[in-house]
Structure 1
Amino acid sequence: MNRLSRRDGLLILIGASCLYTFSAIVDYAVPRSFPAVHLGDPPLHPVGTTPHVLDLGLQRYPPETSLIAHAPGWTLFRHLYMSNGTFFILSSDSQSFPEIRMMISTSLPAENTPENIAQREPTSQEMQFITQDEAQRRWGGNITHGERNRILTVQGNTFLVNEPKQFLDHYYHFVAELLFGARAFLYGAFNPSSTAFVPSPFHVDQSLPSFNMRPSEYEPPSFTRLMLLHASSDEWRDKPGFNAYFLRAVFPSLALEASEDWADRVASTVPTPDGTSTKAWHFPIALLADRSAAHRGEACGSRTQRIAAEPWELMLRLGGIDSVGHWWSHVRESITRFATGKVSPKERITDDSSGKPPQLPLPETVVITYINRQGVRRHLDEANHEALVVALQDMVNRKRDEEGKFWELSIVQAETITKDEQINIASRSTIMLGVHGNGLTHLVFMQPSRLSAVIEIFYPGGFSRDYEWTTRALGMRHFSVWNDTYFTHPNEPPLGYPEGFQGTSIPVHGPAVAKLIEDWLDGRL
């Protein structure tokens, strides 16, 4: 056998190297064929194409700010700027925007005193107008010398919450006011059926694999991030933990920045000591919510005391949302699916186009849920509580035995069961009954039907609109009970917080409440 010479070995090595190089070139030029992956049918309603991305860093002037929609305390901007803690509206026409005081405040905790009210009025530190020339002078680079503008874009849709921790760590105020109002505002502003309609600026790629259910109908653009400007990472969390539970269930991809993160952004845009250089943050789409500014509006400040009433009433008037809570259905379905793994049945809303309000269906099963608060502050007199339970059980048994109606009665002590169980119970409830308190916030997860109602027990002489307004905003009926007397819209009692309102001996007449429920379900009210 002949042995390879050194020359032969060298030629073989050179030939192998050439073959490898040629193969790599061909492989790069002609991609391999991969197995097809079926990701499901395309969405029923295409959401548009990916927008062209413009490099604003090399533009002579930053884009001007425009207003997408506004209600007192709720302002949806396109191209909002922030530098050194101040929001800047870049526009040469300040008259085309609302008063600054109707958009923002100093975010101090609210007290009902003339001094505090005055201190919450905004200054130029909170917000101001700026022209393109001034913006270019402050933040622009020398484009001819290759310098970029000193502005960074915070991509996506940002929800800016300019309020202190005062109310944020309360389940009702966080979920049923702040996020409730934000949903109504975004749903209405981007709804093609609304007279306020503006095209969504962001494309959602429906071809990407995801465990999240895809909407089968119109769904507004979601928030990319939530920025709590004046609450730390712990100060927005309620004690039962429902704020975080809700946020993660409904917005699984949401990024959250707290006051520490906002302080970082502010610090990074502080002017240099000689004033020669400043930077800015650019929000292409931003919803700014401000509690104090909302209370300057008529719907919130004069009638409801609910900040969500401002965007809800505006979008209802513009045709962007409906009066029976369908605009909230995706949120309700998301959290119910998270808690139970079940997909809620689609709402069957009747609309005969005759100008009459849309009508909800009848429930398949009547479920009466009594939220028992006897283990926490503000609850019924113990004897009255026991009599109420007996009256409810007697009513359910009688309807079954005498009329063949199988109404379910669920008595729930929320602090003894899991969050998932609480959501499951709320989602099945036709009637939710309980003493005025945080547990009634679960009403936002009830499936609205023609018989859905919330019955709220107050100390006689007391009344608050918290759950009354929210119930009606979802198209359900609300009853306020003073012992053996009930009130309902439009004849609600006046606001009142008498001695005993927060007490542990709230009276109620059980048989009267049972009769109220029976009369409502049987159509006598």
Structure 2
Amino acid sequence: MSWSNWVQALSNSGSWEKFRSKRRNTNILMISGCIFLFLISTYLYTPNAFHFDLIIVNEIRLGKPTQLVGGVPGFYVFQDLWYRNGTFYAFHENVTDVPLPEKDKIMSGPHTIMTRPLSTQEELMDSQIGQIRYFNGQTIFLNDGADQYNWSYLNWFYHLAAEALLGGIVSLGLSNDFLEEGVPRLMIPWEGNWKDGYGINDGMVKGIFGKDLVERNQWEMWSISGEWIGFEKMVIVDRYASHRHNPIANEWNKMSLPIFEELPSPPPPFFAPYRQNLLQNLHLSVSTARGRVGKALNDVPKIVYLDRQETSRKLSDEDNDGILGVLRDLEKDGKAHVGVPHLSEMGFKNQVKAIKDADIIIGIHGNGLTDQMWMPEGGMVIELFIPDAFLRDYQVLSQALGHRHIAIWNDRILPPSEWKDIDGQMNPTLMHDGTLIPLNTPFIQTLLEDLIVEMNQHL
């Protein structure tokens, strides 16, 4: 029987509608099943779907007033602050005396901060639809991207690592006198494009925080569903709040400088647990700590020269050959181990591996000097500038990490007594217009030999 005859027969017998109905139901079931499997797989593979350190709040957790426990504008630390659908809530016994700064000093963006009597907390939460989540421990909340009219810098390695992350870590540490509390979780709730094109940011965040990461897609799900989210302790990191209300941040164009200035000198090794987390997660051996600031990690110091001759900001070929010759001689004489990595050509793991046991890092002012974060505290960072130009980007980072920073103008050291008198950045355009950076070979040779002697001294 032909297909057309078979269909006509079904139609005449009244079975055609039954066949169509059955087929339609089968299709519906198949489509529904596919949708169900897609949703389940999406949930299962949503980053950290089953790894949040949260509890459903019960009456025991409620009733705690919101407190400001430390920080400066752009880096304020709070205890028991709550969030729901675009609004942060501070609960307090007396709403007229809530110890909170004005919102403009805390964060940018359209989100609001409301105060409510502590006595109404439970009733208010019961009246809303949605779960109640409470994050135990510490949280770093990066607010970049909240204000769509201001540029988010999180997809730049230096701005994410050396400013936002490290500033948040320091804020939490200062609020707790650097008592051991473990590595906090990280939240990047607004900026979906925080990963750079080289994989550096992604490798760093996953290496340090593992699965304790909340990104925009998860945060939006909680907001849309109207869930209450509570934080035992959190720092809200906001670039523009820091620049608005900290004159020194605006002067040097360094958002984290105000909170780094709060650190004692020398600072405690607060970043060591984060570095160890990173090394372990990258399956790299953990470097030992120094016996003192400026001491070599091993009997023979390791010098790392960050070669960036492939870029427009570089030494002359003659001066580059000069420093490479000095380093070869030091290694030949057994005075130093030497590494000359081209970081721009390396993956993140190999970058960390090249730096993690360094004692002295030498580099032209540039993003590669951010990798000093992977060198154990108390090392030395030699930064090469064009004479009459100076910026504090990597000096600020060295200061926070307890490294000794040495700024070089060709054949001399630029001491802090000179650059501290500068009213903000000094001739930054000179570092960006392709001008070659000079470096006197005899000077750098003498400097390195003196530093090696100093690092090997037993005090």
What TM-score does the superposition give when structure 1 sets the normalisation length? 0.66
Of 281, 286, 301, the match for 1:343: 286
Find the aligned partners of 1:140 and 1:340 in 2 and give their Cα distance: 47
Alignment pair present for 1:172 and 2:158: yes
Would the aligned equivalents of 1:455 and 1:480 in 2 still touch at CA under 8 Å?
Answer: yes
Confirm or deny: 8 A CA contact 1:381 1:505 kept in the other structure. Answer: no
Determine the C-alpha separation between the residues in 2 that align with 1:183 and 1:419: 21
1:306 Cα deviation after fit: 3.1
Q: Contact between 2:302 and 2:337, CA under 8 Å: does it hold in 1? A: yes
Match of 2:139 among 138, 158, 162: 158
Q: Does the 8 Å contact 1:187/1:327 carry over to 2?
A: yes
Partner of 2:439: 509
CA–CA distance in 2 between the matches of 1:53 and 1:338? 30
| CA gap 1:417/1:83 in 2 versus in 1, 3 angstroms | closer
Matched, 1:220 2:181: yes
Deviation per residue, 1:441-469 (Å, 9 max, x gap): 111111234xx311111233222111011
Offset, 1:426: 0.8
Tell me the residue number matched to 1:88.
89
Find the partner of 1:102 among 82, 102, 105: 105
TM-fit CA distance, 1:438: 0.9
Listed one character per residue, the Cα deviations across residues 159-217 of structure 1 (whole Å, up to 9, x for unaligned) are 221112621011111112222122222233334xx6xxxxxxxxxxxxxxxxxxxxxxx
2:219 corresponds in structure 1 to: 262
Give the C-alpha shift of residue 324 in structure 1.
Answer: 4.2
> Given that residues 162 and 370 in structure 2 are in contact (C-alpha distance below 8 angstroms), is that contact kept between their aligned partners in structure 1?
yes
- Report what 2:202 is aligned to: 244
**Deviations 1:222-279 (CA, angstroms, capped at 9, x unpaired):** 324x3223211xx111222121111111222313212x4433333333xxxxxxxxx6
SS at match of 2:276: helix
Counterpart of 1:421 in structure 2 is: 350
Taking the aligned partners of 1:520 and 1:489, their CA distance within structure 2 comes to: 18
Tell me the equivalent position of 1:229. 189
Q: Does 1:185 align with 2:171?
A: yes
Q: 1:475 to 1:491 in 2, by over 3 A?
A: farther
> Is the Cα contact below 8 Å between 1:139 and 1:151 reproduced in 2?
no
8 A contact 2:391–2:428 mirrored in 1: no
TM-fit CA distance, 1:136: 6.2
Task: Spell out the pairing of 1:451-462 with structure 2 (5 A cutoff).
Answer: 452-462=379-389
> What is the CA–CA distance in structure 2 between the aligned matches of 1:503 and 1:220, rounded to whole Å?
45
C-alpha distance in 2 between matches for 1:127 and 1:326: 34
Q: Which letter maps to 2:169?
A: R
Corresponding residue for residue 249 of structure 2: 301
- Residue 381 of structure 2 is aligned to residue 380 of structure 1: no
1:463 paired residue number: 390
- Give unpaired runs (5+ residues) of structure 2: 1-53, 146-150
1:416 to partner: Cα distance: 3.1
C-alpha distance in 2 between matches for 1:415 and 1:261: 32
CA distance in 1 between partners of 2:284 and 2:166 (Å): 23
Q: Against the structure 1 CA distance between its residues 459 and 55, is the aligned structure 2 distance closer, same or farther, given a 3 Å change threshold?
A: same
Q: Match of 2:236, SS?
A: strand
Contact 2:289–2:377, Cα closer than 8 Å, also in 1: no
Q: Determine which of 187, 204, 229 is the counterpart of 1:281.
A: 229
Residue 80 of structure 2 is matched in structure 1 by 79
Tell whether 2:269 aligns with 1:326. Answer: yes
Secondary structure at 2:181's aligned position in 1?
Answer: coil
Question: Any idea what the Cα deviations from partners look like across 1:306-351, whole Å, max 9, x if unmatched?
Answer: 333333343x35xxxx7245111122223234445323224435xx
Deviation at 1:137, TM superposition (A): 6.8
Distance verdict in 2 for CA 1:304–1:261, change over 3 Å:
same
SS of corresponding position for 1:155:
strand
Q: Indicate conservation of the 8 Å contact 1:480/1:492, yes or no.
A: no
Structure 2 residue identity aligned to 1:514: Q
What is the correspondence of 1:354-369 to structure 2 with a 5 Å cutoff?
359=293, 361-364=295-298, 365-369=300-304
Query: What's the secondary structure of 1:286's corresponding residue?
Result: strand
- What is the deviation of 1:63? 4.1
Deviation at 1:81, TM superposition (A): 1.9
Determine helix, strand or coil for the equivalent of 1:229: coil
Shift of 1:415: 2.7
Confirm or deny: 8 A CA contact 1:458 1:506 kept in the other structure: no
SS at match of 1:345: coil
Aligned to 2:450: 519
8 Å CA contact 2:57, 2:134 repeated in 1: no
Distance (whole Å) between structure 2 residues aligned to residue 368 and residue 510 of structure 1: 18
User: Cα distance 1:289–1:447, how it changes in 2: closer, same or farther (>3 A)?
Assistant: same
Contact kept, 8 Å, 1:140 with 1:150, in 2: the verdict is: no
Counterpart CA distance in 2 for 1:432 and 1:185 is: 27
Distance change >3 Å, CA 152–CA 289, structure 1 → 2:
same
Q: Tell me the distance in 2 between the aligned counterparts of 1:304 and 1:470.
A: 13
Alpha-carbon distance in structure 1 between the residues aligned to 2:387 and 2:108: 36
The whole-number CA distance in structure 2 between the counterparts of 1:517 and 1:303 is 32
| Residues 76, 430 of structure 1: alpha-carbon distance in 2 compared, 3 angstrom cutoff | same
Matched to 1:76, the amino acid is V
Q: Give the aligned length.
A: 389
Taking a change above 3 Å as real, the CA distance of residues 241 and 299 of structure 1, as seen in their structure-2 partners, is farther
Residues 89-114 of structure 1: per-residue CA shift (max 9 Å, x gap): 223244522233221122xxxxxxxx
For 2:73 and 2:335, the matched residues in 1 are separated by 46
Evaluate the alpha carbon distance shift between residue 362 and residue 374 of structure 1 in structure 2; reply closer, same or farther with a 3 A threshold. closer
Which ranges in structure 1 are unaligned for 5 or more consecutive residues? Answer: 1-50, 107-122, 142-147, 195-217, 270-278, 350-358
CA separation of 1:239 and 1:515: change in aligned 2, threshold 3 A: farther
Asked whether the equivalents of residues 339 and 421 of structure 1 are also in contact (C-alpha less than 8 Å), the reply is no
* RMSD (Å), alpha carbons: 3.2
Q: Matched residues in 2 for 1:412 and 1:282: separation?
A: 45
Q: Comparing 415-424 with 465-474, which one deviates more in the overlay?
A: 415-424
Distance 2:122 2:272 in 1: 44
How far off is 1:396 after superposition? Answer: 4.9
For residue 434 of structure 1, the aligned residue among 363, 371, 378 is 363
Identity of aligned residues (%): 22
